[in-house]
Chains A and B, each alone.
Chain A
Amino acid sequence: MTTPSTQELLQTMQGASEHLSVNDRREFLRRGMSYVAGAAAVGGTTIASAASLTSNLPPNEPQWGRQLGTGVVENPYGMPSRHEAQVVRRTVPWLTAESISSISMSPLQDLKGIITPNGLVFERYHAGVPDINPDEHRLMIHGLVDNPLIFTMEDLMRFPSVSQIKFIECPANGGMEWRGPQMEALQFTHGMLSCCEWTGVPLKVLLDAAGVQTEGKWVLAEGADGAHMSRSIPIEKVLDDTLVVYAQNGEMLRPEQGYPLRLLNPGWEGNTSIKWLRRIEVGDQPWHHREETSKYTDLMADGRARRFTFVQECNSVITSPCPENPILRKGFIEVEGLAWTGRGTIKGVDVSFDGGVSWRPAKLKGLVLDKALTRFSFTTQWQGEPWLIQSRAYDDTGYVQPTLAQLREQRGVNTIYHKNSIHTWQVAPTGEVKNVQIT
């Protein structure tokens, strides 16, 4: 076993870094330097230098093949590898005064497939995460019903359960970019978006048990947290697909996602899927509460505002390459991304490499489900040419994801919510990727 000299190591690294962008090259060299320093400190010739960069590579036997690892239940609840510590939710602190009523974004740039792991689902609270004892949690159903009912968690879990894969998106996703590009990373332009397999009971089943009276046209859903977050939902939606869920991705809901119980309105603004759900009241008209008047109404250029803008319209974004995932090597590349629509199912996605002048159909990969994230892919070659890459999704209603210019012309730039326009990444000849807008 020979240990390469510091000189050789540096040369190898210089060579490898030639494919990298400026920033990545800097990062690559910085990491490399610390490996070199480590090897030099132990003289470069002893067995301890096994910790250096190349010694774990063929033909050498890696360090982890020459020793034992940790045993079972060392981590009774398993955690990702420590080498994945960068894959976390992140926030933009200046958006809100405090973390207690704030938002964090999912790291879409690091996710695979269509399911968001529970610890990475984006967060939005209005009064922090309550610590709810499930034995003391109740769901009350009252108002225009024949039999007002109160359910324990145990009661709710006795009903036949349904499991469905659905996305949840905050209508403010992308809302910082109405006036121009502002966020320098995918996590912040599109990360208020997650997709899980949810398990629970259709709300319709619970309402049937209570017996909705004929005048019952709306329901008010309310949370048990300090915000007592409330939203009015039309009864048509409830009869269609609203769920009361207690589990996500195979385990009980995370506290951040409403443990022990939340509403799920598939395809609709995330805030209508009330977390920590404790009460459903049936009424004959909407309540016009703060989260459907002051917030979550869309102010148009003429000063008037749309209300009850429930549906998250068809949208898509390329997740690789993206600012966090620059192109590191010339040659083959799979351009990948996510598409979703609150109106139904993704029918197809087109990609453009020239800023929307010409388009080519991408492939949909894996599961293509109603109101779920759908992954698309386009394989090609990159030889360092500058790209303006875009994706454009369309759904089974025939709706095609619009351009930002089209949205601005209809709505102005003050709406905050529901910006589902075609997104552009600029790929530089170095492989670096930037968030840009084309006007």
Chain B
Amino acid sequence: MFKSRKLTFSATLVASVAAGVISSAAYAQDYNIGAPASAQEIAGWDIDIRPDGMGLPVGSGNALDGEETYEVFCASCHGVFGEGEGRWPVLTGGEGTLSDDRPVKTVGSYWPYASTLFDYIRRAMPFTAPLSLDDQQVYDITAYVLYMNDIIEDDFELSHENLAQIKMPNEDGFYIDDRPDVSNPRCMVDCADPETMMLQSSLAGVTPIGHFVEGADAPAASHSDQHDLEASKEAERKASITGVEIVAPVAKETSAMSAAAIAGEATYQAACGVCHTNGLAGAPKVSDANAWSERLKQGTDLLITHALEGYSGSAGYMPAKGGRADLSDEAVTNAVLFMVESQQ
């Protein structure tokens, strides 16, 4: 049995070697794996722009039109003047500070090429809805950010033809890596003078070390704790002014919800939670009953309309469908019901 199988195998082997199937190394690496990428497939994904203008879509825009678009989509995080809200990035100012003690690196003071701004806004902003702006909006907003940095005039028509010619103030401020830039001999004895050595200790109270030093003066260990801390300080401050009692948010059992609301949870997690779970961009947190009590008084229908069409109140900017135009009206409606019923 065994013997005959072996015989058959070597017979096949001899036959295939004779046919050149196994022995050729070149043939072995002719993988022929993968499919041709069509021009259409490439066009959909090829979003990159280069300083020489390669990749810019045909079109144009200006700061006058960009102002409103910027305020709607960007100002909630980056500030009306690009000054940056809270810890969000600053987009303007800082000229002449690069060699200061505390340099301020912004589009205007640091970025070498305008193409990078167009490219980055299109690929990554607004933070919560990347690739949601059309080319016209990206040209307008790019022009507006350049205008805020005194790089172009407010009526300058920025286009695929002239963007590459814009000279950024710090274009010549960069050079190619020239490390190694230090050389430390491998000294073994008398390498430093103990007489002149000074010791500097770390700052206390800036490192989250609560996990190994009991009772340490340590800051929050997670972003949500940090936000809760900031929120409770803010609530205490407000309460001390108004005398209103602070009510701790309570998590709701999903079993008490309607079928539509339960169905909406998945949409919520996928499309809304990014803002509404953590309170990003001013969004009312679902877990924060106080943030919802006034809103609920408007009635669920209006809340649904605001979620579908977008809404800009005093807290921030709520993009239509949370910036997810691909969602059906029903999915968004159910997500609102999930959010509303989480309050009851």
Where the two chains meet, the residues of A that have a C-beta atom closer than 8 Å to any C-beta of B are 23, 26-27, 30, 86, 90-94, 96-102, 126-128, 140-142, 147-151, 155, 158-159, 180-185, 188, 205-206, 209, 220, 222, 226-228, 230, 278-279, 281, 283, 285, 287-290, 293-294, 297, 299, 301-311, 313, 323-324, 350, 352, 354-360, 388, 392, 394, 399-403, 406-407, 409-411, 414, 418, 426, 434-439
Residues of A within 8 A of B280 (CB): 98, 100
Closest B residue by C-beta to A140: B37
* Contacts between chains A and B (CB distance < 8 A), count: 276
Closest A residue by C-beta to B124: A227
A-B contact pairs, 28 of them (CB 8 A): A26-B215, A90-B208, A94-B219, A142-B46, A181-B202, A184-B206, A185-B207, A281-B46, A287-B51, A288-B50, A290-B120, A290-B124, A293-B116, A302-B99, A304-B98, A305-B175, A306-B176, A307-B177, A309-B177, A323-B212, A352-B191, A357-B192, A358-B191, A392-B184, A401-B184, A403-B184, A406-B184, A438-B197
* B248 CB within 8 Å of chain A: no
Contact with A along B59-91 (1 / 0, CB 8 A): 000000000000000000000000000111000
Partner of B37, one of A148, A283, A290, A297: A148
Contact with A along B196-229 (1 / 0, CB 8 A): 0111111110111101111100011111111000
Q: Given A355-B192, A436-B199, A436-B200, does the pair A184, B33 have CB atoms closer than 8 Å?
A: no
Contact with A along B24-44 (1 / 0, CB 8 A): 000000010111110001100
Q: 4 new A-B pairs (CB below 8 Å) besides A148-B37, A155-B35, A399-B180? A: A149-B35, A150-B41, A180-B202, A279-B46
Residues of A within 8 A of B130 (CB): 127, 226-228
* B47 CB within 8 Å of chain A: yes
Q: How far is the CA of A155 from the CA of B197 in the complex (A)?
A: 60
Q: Of B13-21, B106-114, B289-297, which stretch is located at the interface?
A: B106-114
Partner of A306, one of B120, B178, B200, B219: B178
Q: How far is the CA of A51 from the CA of B300 in the complex (A)?
A: 55
Closest A residue by C-beta to B185: A400
Partner of B116, one of A101, A290, A406: A290
Q: Is the CB of A313 within 8 A of B188?
A: no
Q: Is the CB of B214 within 8 A of A23?
A: yes
* B1 CB within 8 Å of chain A: no
Residues of B within 8 A of A426 (CB): 199, 201
Q: Is the CB of B103 within 8 A of A151?
A: no
* Most chain B CB within a 10 A radius of its CB, from A205, A209, A278, A302: A209
Residues of B within 8 A of A359 (CB): 186-189, 191
Residues of B within 8 A of A394 (CB): 186
Q: How far is the CA of A226 from the CA of B126 in the complex (A)?
A: 10
Q: Is the CB of B189 within 8 A of A358?
A: yes
* Most chain A CB within a 10 A radius of its CB, from B88, B98, B207: B207
